[in-house]
Amino acid sequence: MWVTRQSMAGILLAALATTAALAAAAACTGEDNAIENQFAQAIDLYLAKKGALCLGIDNNLPMTVSDADARSAPSNPTGVASQMAALASVKLVAAADTETRSARAGTATRGRRYAITEVGARYYRTVPGDHAKGEFCYGRRSVARVVRWSERQQGDAREVRVIYVEKVDDLADWAQQTPILDAFPYVEALLARIGRRTRSHNVRMTTDGWVAEGLDGEQG
């Protein structure tokens, strides 16, 4: 088949147009990836400070569980006695027999006193804003990938609502042990949701770049 000069010119023009379109699409994709990375970094900075995953304890440690409470543990698998026994099973706390005497009543109350171990100290903190309670933190939320985002202008400020899928960083092995999952069932439910559902967070443009809301006292 013979190709005329005119038809060859048309083929070349079409090829150039296709190449230009592909280059433009690649450039747009590259720009989108770059800005999504900036959004992810901004949200990760927020989550590094406020995205800890922790087991809440009703009382600060050390604490004592009475023998009476311990005997009721089988009927209350998520109660304090069961939770402390679970924490002891993964070496976060250590238990010692104790006895408290009441001079007025002339009676003694026996129990087990739980204190933080050297291993547990790596994960334990008092609850921010409520130092009468403590918690063991077993991981941290972070951004796995940005799904989509939408921008809105508020006066002179640029604000973006970012939808993303999260993941868990630094997940402690003890948090996946059966005694912990039985005593703190919300942990298993939370870990099952992560990576399957999307979350959202606002970021806004500042002189320092994109910043997640919540790092300067605003609501995230």
What confidence score (pLDDT) does residue 79 get? 92
SS3 label, residue 203: strand
Domain boundaries, the chain: 28-212
pLDDT digits (tens, 9 = 90+) for 7-55: 555 555 555 555 444 444 444 455 668 899 999 999 999 999 999 999 9
Burial class (CB in 10 A: 0-12, 13-18, 19+), 155: exposed
How many other β-carbons are positioned within 10 Å of the β-carbon of residue 89? 15
Contact 177, 88 (CB under 8 A): no
pLDDT digits (tens, 9 = 90+) for 100-132: 766 565 667 789 999 999 999 999 998 877 767
Nearest to 162 by CA among 42, 23, 5: 42
Nearest to 113 by CA among 73, 76, 84: 84
pLDDT digits (tens, 9 = 90+) for 150-178: 988 777 778 999 999 999 999 999 999 99
